[in-house]
Amino acid sequence: MTAHETIDIPGSPQPAARGWHAAIPDDMDMLRAAVDLTRDISAARPGIYWPDMLISALVGYGCIAVAILARSPVVSVLAGVVAAVALYRALLFIHELTHIHKNALPGFRTGWNILVGIPLLTPSFMYEGVHTLHHARTRYGTADDPEYLPLALMKPWSLPVFLLIAVLAPFALLFRFAVLVPLGAVIPPLRTYVWQRFSALSINPDFRRRPPEGAFKRMVFWQELGGSLWAITLLASIHFLGWRPLLIALVIMSGTALLNQLRTLVAHLWENEGDAMTVTAQYLDSVNVPPPAFMAPLWAPVGLRYHALHHLLPSLPYHALGEAHRRLRAQLGGQSTYDKASYPGLFMLVGRLARNTMRRV
């Protein structure tokens, strides 16, 4: 795949200019092909989801134990790195939970929350009901999108701040569940504030979450209760085990959060400044990093190396995205609109974003 610095739209301005996305019409051939070529691979397969999630979680927790118990600093650091990567993969199944049909994988949501979401203080309610707004046709890239910031149009210092926030996130989550949730149970205004501002995995600071309703409200109650009890238990463990085990675990989780934030940094081009966009424009503002980028499965696991394709087919399970990419490229050809969302790797994308921010100096 060939990297590109501009979208080849006749008469369009440079990517950093406001409104260039609005000039991109929908490529109906690509949209029809995306649907027609993937009908037979659209079912989520429990035999892939469950082992992948369970093995990732087992490796992650096992390596946390090694990092805590190891006497050698080298062994502890290496185990911590493996733990961060493995738990990152396990954690990203939260993305799949927001898209798969509720009856597609019986018990998977509950199992994931018990084994991953609550222990990592990131239960699924923090993404469910939020991420789907990012995929809404009229919200993507606008001020109403909880997962979009025009990072390419911001100042250069915004990028390191964006990453620093992720490093601090595990400590903030511990405080949220151990302190703010119990206090919110007896102080309703605080409860409302915490829900609106600190209950969603969003990057848009202006996003305010609406109150939960119905069955989702009941799910939130049990997940918050579980997260709160676990967070309090973690803090109580300091009395018996000292600070070291908890600090090591939090540092490892900071590594996981940093990986996720780095992936988020290159999931889109972040060049839209609030304009409504066609589906094709949204696709071209998103990023695929297909083979031969061999490191992509580590920093963009669970299908997220095909993030642009995911925006074409949000409900397609992660294990089908590679095959869908091969079929679409074979059908549409290497010079098609589809090919223009493909990039060679992480460093090229970070460099592109950094260069765009430098233009704002």
Q: Give domain limits for the chain.
A: 1-45+123-361
Q: What is the pLDDT of residue 351?
A: 94
**Inter-residue long-range contacts of 61-67, CB under 8 Å, 24+ positions, other chains counted:** 61/87, 61/119, 64/248, 64/249, 64/252, 67/248, 67/252
Q: In the chain, what is the straight-line distance between the N-terminal and C-terminal CA atoms, in Å?
A: 31
Sequence length of the chain is: 361
pLDDT on residue 20? 59
What is the longest distance spanned by two Cα atoms in the chain? 67
What is the rounded radius of gyration, in angstroms, for the C-alpha atoms of the chain? 21
Number of CB atoms found within 10 A of residue 71's CB: 6
318, containing H or E segment: none
**Interior CA angle at 234 toward 229 and 236, to 5°?**
90
pLDDT at 202: 95
Residues 6+ apart with CB under 8 A from 15: 5, 6, 7, 152, 269, 271, 356
In tens digits, the chain (361 residues) has pLDDT values of 333 332 333 223 333 444 556 678 999 999 999 999 999 999 999 999 999 999 999 999 999 999 999 999 999 999 999 999 999 999 999 999 999 887 889 999 999 999 999 999 999 999 999 999 999 888 998 889 999 999 999 999 999 999 999 999 999 999 999 999 999 999 999 999 999 999 999 999 999 999 999 999 999 999 999 999 999 999 999 999 999 999 999 999 999 999 999 999 999 999 888 888 899 999 999 999 999 998 999 999 999 999 999 999 999 999 999 999 999 999 998 789 999 999 999 999 999 999 999 987 7
pLDDT of residue 334: 78
Q: Tell me what pLDDT residue 22 has.
A: 61
What integer pLDDT is reported at residue 276 of this predicted model?
Answer: 85
Q: By C-alpha distance, which of 283, 232, 293, 268 is closest to 356?
A: 268
- The whole-angstrom separation of Cα 143 and Cα 277 is 13
| HEC secondary structure over 38-86 | CHHHCCCCHHHHHHHHHHHHHHHHHHHHHHHHCCCHHHHHHHHHHHHHH
Rounded CA-CA distance 60/57 in Å is 5
- DSSP-based helix, strand, coil % in the chain, nearest 5: 60, 0, 35
Can you give the pLDDT at residue 333?
83
